[in-house]
Every structure is written in structure tokens, then in C-alpha cells.
């Protein structure tokens, strides 16, 4: 249930910082069941006694211990990406204020590592706050009375191997079509090797401008692992990229094996004729994504 404290002005808003602290805790210490299931399933494909199999089993041990001890799955708790869909009457400004308060408290509780460094001075703020992008918050007003908050924790290792292509790309023989998209995405996986903490999940955006394309490539991570793309051509492309990436022999953490990718997720966008961007965001095996839904004073975590 909500705390009794109401926001200062007369709105439907209540203080939900404690509920959001639990959202951060769950995201940081306990993988979603669909992600854990995918890891277990792929583990069985690796040869017993191989470096790939040992790595996948170690990953599973790590997941279990983090859950049991309520400690972060990875020491790098990453960039905080909040996606907030709010009903009419809720204030994005006040919601942002509560997010900030929540992040400070969650850092004190060690659910988050102090992870925000001023790029000019090199000084760590110590509380995961920074400019308007730390933490990152995306807001959208929706119909109905449900408040939905999605949180992604995206580590720096996998963020470092994300990239963007401008088609055509002669280096890999990629034209301005879906087969060209396939070629550059596989090139991104090859370039990453094991540096993104494979097995990974790819978020891919086709189209848009440089900025919107990158944003969409991360937003697609809100999909469930077992959720199929509603566009048949993209569903087929996702499956093919994942299959072909797993034939590259990179494997878990780059140690070789059959599991380089767990899944590929693609979003198609509109573009202007002069531009054909393909943005690739890489998510490590620690695919930390959780959702909180609030309706009629009830809180549901997914």
C-alpha cells in the first residue's frame, strides 16, 4: 500500500519512492524469469566440461547467489533507464523528483553502485545523480488509470560494444535492405566478440535519425524473451540473425561454444530518403529489466 504522504498540490499523485526502491532492488538482484529460463535452456546446448558450459553454469550460480543474498547480479549496476507511462493527473516533474530520491536511497542501500562520473572533472557524484540524463527518464501519458514504470539497468561493458551503421556499408557488402541489416548486425556481433559479456541480447532499430534510432534500439529491450515480433519479416530476421550469430563460435564470454546470442529484438522505424541508419544496442547476459504496475493502490512487480 502507498504511504499516506501526498504530494503538495491537489493531484492523484502519491509518494511511491518505497515502491520504486523495491523495483530497483528486484532489477538489480534478480533476473526476470524469462531471462533466467533462456539462460538455462541455452546452457544445455553446450558440451559438458567445455569452457562454454562451465561459463554458463557459473552464470547460473551467480544468478542464484545474487537472489539469495539480495546483492547486485553484476558489480556494474550500469545506467538507469526509466520508462514511465503515467495516467492523466500525474506530474512528470514530480515523478522525476521521486525517481531521483529513490535512486539516492537505493544507492545508500547498496542495490546500486555509485556509478555516475562527471566527464569533465572525473569526479564520482557518489549517489548516481548527475545531469538531466542521470538517471535517464522517458515519460509518456497514457489513457486509463494505470501507472507503469519499466526499469532497465544497462552495464557499461555491453554499452561499449553498441554501434550504429549507415547503409549502404561497402565494407561488409550491405545494401539498403533487410539483408543489408542482417549483414551489419552480424558484423556488430563479430566486432564485439566476448567483450559485451556474451551471451547477449541485441536491440536493433532500423531507420529514424541518429538519435531516435539509438533510443529505439534500447527501448526494444522492454520486450519479453518469448515475445515474438508482430511484423513477420522482422520476426524471421530476428530468428535468422540469432541463429547465424550462434554459428560464429564466439560463445559465452568469448570462450567459444554455441551460445553467442540469446535473442535478437528489432524495431522498424520511418526514415528520410537520404538516411538509412541501423543502430545496435548490446545487452549482456545480465539482462536486468523489471516492471512495476500501480492501479487502485495495488502494486504489481513483473
CATH for 132 = 3.30.360
Q: Domain check: are 21 and 147 in the same one?
A: yes
Per-residue pLDDT of the chain (302 residues; tens, 9 = 90+): 444 343 444 445 789 999 999 999 999 999 999 999 999 999 999 999 999 999 999 999 999 999 999 999 999 999 999 999 999 999 999 999 999 999 999 999 999 999 999 999 999 999 999 998 999 999 999 999 999 999 999 999 999 999 999 999 999 999 999 999 999 999 999 999 989 999 999 999 999 999 999 999 999 999 999 999 999 999 999 999 999 999 999 999 999 999 999 999 999 999 999 999 999 999 999 999 999 999 988 999 99
Rounded-to-integer distance, Cα 146 and Cα 180, Å = 40
Q: SS3 for 261?
A: strand
Which residues, 6+ apart, have CB-to-CB distance to 10 below 8 Å?
none
Residue 87 within any structural domain of the chain: yes
> Does residue 67 belong to any structural domain of this protein?
no
Decide if 119 is inside a domain.
yes
- Kindly state whether residues 143 and 177 are assigned to the same domain: no
33 lies in a domain? Answer: no
**Domain region containing 81:** 17-28+74-155+288-301
State residue 3's pLDDT score: 43
Residue 5 lies in a domain: no
State whether 172 and 24 are in the same domain: no
- Do 278 and 293 lie in one domain? The reply is no
* pTM score of the predicted model: 0.93
273 and 263 within one domain: yes
Cβ–Cβ under 8 Å, residues 166 and 275: yes
Question: Minimal CA–CA distance to 192: which of 266, 283, 262?
Answer: 283
> Grid coordinates representing 287?
539482462
Q: How far is CA 177 from CA 70, 98, 136, 166, in A?
A: 46, 44, 32, 12
Please check whether residue 267 lies inside any domain of the structure. yes
pLDDT of residue 14: 87
> Within a domain: residue 6?
no
The pLDDT, as a whole number, for residue 204 is 98
CB atoms within 10 A of CB 21: 18
User: For residue 65, how many other CB atoms are within 10 A of its CB?
Assistant: 12
Specify the pLDDT at position 12: 57
Question: Are 173 and 182 a contacting pair, CB within 8 Å?
Answer: no
Burial class (CB in 10 A: 0-12, 13-18, 19+), 40: middle
Count structural domains, the chain: 2
Q: Are residues 87 and 206 in the same domain?
A: no
Calpha distance 186→244 (Å, rounded): 8
Residue 223 lies in a domain: yes
Q: Which three cell numbers stand for residue 62?
A: 551467480
Amino acid at each position: 500500500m502507498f504511504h499516506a504522504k501526498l504530494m503538495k498540490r491537489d493531484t492523484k499523485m502519491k509518494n511511491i519512492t518505497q515502491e520504486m526502491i523495491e523495483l530497483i532492488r528486484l532489477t538489480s538482484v534478480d533476473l526476470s524469469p524469462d531471462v533466467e529460463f533462456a539462460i538455462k535452456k541455452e546452457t544445455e546446448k553446450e558440451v559438458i566440461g567445455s569452457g562454454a558450459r562451465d561459463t554458463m553454469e557459473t552464470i547460473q550460480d551467480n544468478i542464484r547467489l545474487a537472489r539469495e543474498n539480495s546483492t547486485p547480479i553484476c558489480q556494474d549496476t550500469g545506467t538507469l533507464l526509466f520508462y514511465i507511462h503515467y495516467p492523466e493527473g500525474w506530474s512528470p516533474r514530480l515523478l522525476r523528483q521521486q525517481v531521483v530520491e529513490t535512486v539516492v536511497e537505493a544507492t545508500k542501500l547498496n542495490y546500486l553502485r555509485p556509478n555516475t562520473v562527471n566527464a569533465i572533472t572525473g569526479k564520482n557524484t557518489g549517489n548516481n545523480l548527475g545531469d538531466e540524463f542521470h538517471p535517464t527518464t522517458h515519460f509518456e501519458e497514457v489513457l486509463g488509470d494505470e501507472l507503469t514504470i519499466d526499469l532497465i539497468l544497462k552495464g557499461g561493458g555491453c554499452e561499449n560494444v553498441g554501434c550504429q551503421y549507415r547503409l549502404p556499408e561497402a565494407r561488409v557488402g550491405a545494401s539498403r535492405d533487410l539483408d543489408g541489416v542482417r549483414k551489419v548486425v552480424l558484423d556488430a556481433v563479430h566486432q564485439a566478440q566476448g567483450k559485451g559479456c556474451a551471451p547477449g541480447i541485441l536491440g536493433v532499430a532500423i531507420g529514424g535519425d541518429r538519435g531516435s534510432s539509438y533510443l529505439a534500439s534500447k527501448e526494444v529491450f522492454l520486450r519479453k524473451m518469448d515475445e515474438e515480433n508482430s511484423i513477420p519479416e522482422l520476426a524471421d530476421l530476428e530468428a535468422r540473425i540469432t541463429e547465424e550469430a550462434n554459428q560464429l563460435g564466439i560463445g559465452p564470454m568469448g570462450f567459444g561454444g554455441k551460445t553467442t546470442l540469446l535473442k535478437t529484438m528489432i524495431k522498424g522505424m520511418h526514415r528520410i530518403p537520404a538516411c538509412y541508419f541501423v543502430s545496435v544496442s548490446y545487452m549482456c547476459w545480465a539482462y536486468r529489466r523489471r516492471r512495476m504496475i500501480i492501479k487502485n493502490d495495488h502494486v504489481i512487480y513483473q
